Amino acid sequence: MKNPQLLKGLLEGCILKLISDGETYGYELVENLKKYGFRDISEGTVYPLLIRLKKNKLLNSKDRESPYGPKRKYYSLSEEGEKELESFYRTWRELCNVIDLIFKDYEGGEH
């Protein structure tokens, strides 16, 4: 995906979803996103988004011991985070429907 602004917003939604599946930390989250197909993602992209989500009180965080020495920050969804996730998904579905309708008779991508 080339558009950074668009990607940022979508990534935030995906991060909320993955965190709602279970408490997780930065690197694990990145690996998960990669597994789903966001191949160019790194902690450098995800970390600022986590800060913003936390700053907006959508995430809680907890430091836990890690086998590597420094403590790891584990993230979980706050109540507001749950609401934001629902609202993101609703908006996304609506958008998908609209875009599918608009592009129904489009064949440019086939070539």
Partner 1 sequence: MGKLDDLIRKNYELSKKLTPENDEIYTNIVCYLRTSGMDELEAEEIIQDILGMMLEAQKRGEEIEQVIGNDYRAFCDSVIEAAHPKRFSWRKLFSDLEIVVIVISLLWLLDIIFFYLPQMFKQGRLILDFQVSLGFLINTAIILLASVLIVKYIGKTSFKDSKEKRQGHKWRQFVLLWVIISCIIALLGLIRYKLNPFVFFSVKMYYLAAVFAGLYLLLRAVKEKLPVN
The pair phi, psi for residue 25, each rounded to 5°, is -120, 170
Asked if 26 touches partner 1 (CB under 8 A), the answer is yes
Neighbours of 84 (CB within 10 A): 20
Of these, 6, 34, 42, 64, which contacts partner 1 (CB under 8 A)?
A: 42
Which stretch of DSSP H or E encloses residue 13?
helix 4-20
Least spacing, CB of residue 39 vs partner 1, in Å: 13
Q: Which is nearer to partner 1, 20 or 73 (CB)?
A: 73
CB within 8 Å of 10: residues ≥ 6 apart: 1
Compute the distance between CA of residue 78 and CA of residue 10 in angstroms, rounded to an integer.
Answer: 19
Asked if 48 interacts with partner 1 (CB under 8 A), we say yes
Among 22, 44, 108, 109, binds partner 1 (CB under 8 A): 44
3-state secondary structure of 61: strand
User: x/- binding map, residues 69-108, to partner 1, per CB under 8 A?
Assistant: xxxxx-----------------------------------
Positions that interact with partner 1 (CB under 8 A): 26-27, 42-45, 47-49, 51-52, 55, 66, 68-73
